[in-house]
Amino acid sequence: MYISRLQLLNYKSFRDSGVLEFQPGINIIVGANNSGKTALLEALSLSFKDIPHRSLKTAGDADPSSHVQVSLVADKSAIKEVAQIISSDFQFVYSANKTDRNLTAETMHRLFLDWFDAPAAVETRVCLLGDCKVVEVEKSLTNDLTFNVYCINKQDYYIDKIAGTKFNRCTVDSEITTRLVEYFSRHTYRLYAERPNLASCFFGDRSELEPDGSNLAEVLNQLQLSGKKKLFNRFLTYVSAIFPEIGLVSVRPKPNLKDFTGSDTSRRSRELEILIWSQEAAENDKEDLAFPLSECGTGTGQVLAILYAVLASPTPRTIIIDEPQSYLHPGAAKKLIQILKEFPQHQYFIATHSAEIIAAANPSTIVKLRYEDGETQASTMNAGDIREQRSLLAELGVSLSDVFGADSILWVEGPTEEQCFPLILEKLAPKLSTGTKIVSIKNTGDLLGKKAHFADVMFDLYQRLSGGNNLYPPAVGFVFDKECLSELDIEDLRRRKPHPIKFIKRRMYENYLLHPDAIAAALNYEDAGREQPVSGEEVRERLETHKLNKNYFPKPDIQRSKDDTPKHLANAKWIDKIDAAKVLAALFAELSEARVQFKKTSHSLMLTEWLLENNPEHFADLAQFLRDILDKGKAALD
């Protein structure tokens, strides 16, 4: 049984969620803090109160109550179980040719169950108020089932197979649907992000886990005693897969506590508690080395409850998991998701902001929530959309974690800029950097130079990633190195792309790092075996030599001015035009006597950090350049 669609109206931050469609398997809900994730999870569990949305938009609403319009798809096993419940609670009267004839309870029970001869799955659409109260049945189960059942009141059901007499159909539809909604709510597990009380409970013989997992000790005790050894061992295997340090899980009566008179406390003596065994304790059968679940982290109990619900449920269930990354290590969270995928008959709703969990889940749908203008807005990506987005990311060599969770993206030349630009903005323009993620383009060569004919295709991929109904934030622009591009090349690229394409003033980012004192500091750190430290003056003298070397400058051609020669560049222009990466490589090799090799990404980051610490104004022009791009890009998005 699962939810196929849901619309949440006038509840907490939701005025109208719109119709959200879901599938069996894993459904992901993403959104910033206070975007409405908890409210949506409450609605999905069909366990919500009447808490109307409050804003200026709802001031004149005629109906202030909160309600949910939901479509439930019930399989045959769920319908049969509901039929069993109803048939045991009510007395029946058989009607033939409008003449009532009393039958035995056994016959009526059989006739009633025969009516529930459902196909593989049947959908019912209902409108609910708080606490699962059915107020309207838009599409009843009786539309699709074999016979007609009619209800006079809550004591008598009529079955008419012969004459087709119809009697109070709306009453029976509402009654059956109400029972089905209650059944769904009872069979829905919701695991909260906050620490639940799962470590102990009173003795009992139930094998059905409560929706909040509160009787976890009871059901695990039944599992270990019921003779279902194979199932219990499978449960333990999954626990150890997620937590390799755990060798065994067991349940025992909670040790009695003595009160001040020396008597056993009555409450404690009736409780069960869950024990967690390390691998060492399990291998040596040393219960005294085991410790109560209450002494473990929050994630351990949550995982035990989830695994039990998944493994021990004979029929499909709905399992709601709130922010698993808040109580599980990323590796454990990913392993849990992989296990859940082995049980696709269940429906999972996982609220998360973890890109790693989303990537591991391969979800059926993703619902993205955002809080705007006093209310929550929701949009849905289906599996086809998600596959397309992943395909686009693969084409670009970008991972989901590279772009997920940002308000906007600034695409930059490469990994060096991806690491260094955020540091510069954080130091010199901290407010602007909030919400914007800087991500490197992995294949810049496909956009520039000899492969420029691929630019239209590549830019189209970035455009499709950065707009529309998807997981990924919009682009505010692209920042490239000038390298050896002519003005014609630059203008050609700018014509190809609607988002702003900007080029830094200098040939490449490393040109901003040709600072003698910074280079000397990096060399002294890396070349610790040197007898005398390198001085900034030594680096400055070497730079004076290198800036006269024509091999470090672009060759003059018809698209460049005749003044672009080493002689002229030896003045102010040299810092803009020189191949700084090659110069840095030469300086590192020469001044360390080849003991230190310049590594573009790591050493550029080291130089950047030194300059931001000791001379942040060195990046003032570059920071202003980035500030202008972000200001204009964000203004265009508003």
Q: Tens digit of pLDDT for each residue in 106-139?
A: 665 665 666 566 566 778 888 888 777 777 777 7
- Pick the residue with more confidence: 471 or 204? 204
- Pick the residue with more confidence: 433 or 540? 540
Q: What is the CA angle 289-292-295, rounded to 5?
A: 105
Give the best-scoring range by mean pLDDT among 8-22, 134-148, 149-163, 494-508. 8-22
CA 560 to chain centre: 50
Cβ–Cβ < 8 Å for 107, 201: no
Query: Which string of b and e fits 531-540 if b means at least 16 CB within 10 Å?
Result: eeebeeebbe
pLDDT digit string (tens) for 554-586? 775 434 445 555 554 545 578 888 999 999 999
Cβ–Cβ < 8 Å for 142, 116: no
State the pLDDT confidence band at 638, using cuts at 50, 70 and 90.
low
Starting at the edge strand found earlier in the chain, the sheet holding 318-322 runs 188-191, 318-322, 347-351, 25-31, 365-372, 375-382
State the pLDDT confidence band at 153, using cuts at 50, 70 and 90.
very low
CA distances from 186 to 1, 143, 220, 399, 554 (A): 12, 24, 19, 39, 73
Q: What is the pLDDT of residue 327?
A: 84
State the pLDDT confidence band at 155, using cuts at 50, 70 and 90.
very low
* CA-based nearest residue to 100, from 158, 53, 51, 43: 158
State the pLDDT confidence band at 517, using cuts at 50, 70 and 90.
very high
| Type and span of the H or E element at 574 | helix 574-577
Residues belonging to the chain: 638
State the pLDDT confidence band at 104, using cuts at 50, 70 and 90.
low
Q: What is the pLDDT of residue 127?
A: 86
Alpha helices in 429-551 (DSSP H): 430-433, 455-465, 487-496, 516-526, 536-546
Handedness of CA 83, 87, 89, 90 (dihedral sign): positive
Residue 479 has pLDDT above 80, yes or no: yes
And the tokens for 169?
Answer: 């159909």
Distance between CA atoms of residues 37 and 370, nearest Å? 9
pTM: 0.68
CA distances from 325 to 236, 356, 366, 383, 545 (A): 22, 9, 17, 23, 54
Q: What is the pLDDT of residue 257?
A: 53
- 397-426 average pLDDT score: 79
Single-letter residue type at 526: E
Residues β-bridged to residue 129: 67, 133
State the pLDDT confidence band at 391, using cuts at 50, 70 and 90.
low
* CA-based nearest residue to 465, from 380, 369, 389: 389
CA distances from 128 to 46, 146, 492 (A): 8, 26, 58
Residue 94 has pLDDT above 80, yes or no: no
Residue 164 has pLDDT above 70, yes or no: no
In a 13 Å sphere around the CA of 502, the CA atoms on its Cβ side amount to: 20
Cβ–Cβ < 8 Å for 436, 406: yes
- 72 contact partners, CB below 8 Å, separation of at least 6: 1, 2, 3, 4, 123, 124, 125, 126, 180, 181, 184
Q: What is the CA angle 112-180-342, rounded to 5?
A: 115
Mean pLDDT estimate for the chain: 78
And the tokens for 612?
Answer: 């931001």
Distance between CA atoms of residues 439 and 489, nearest Å? 23
State the pLDDT confidence band at 172, using cuts at 50, 70 and 90.
low
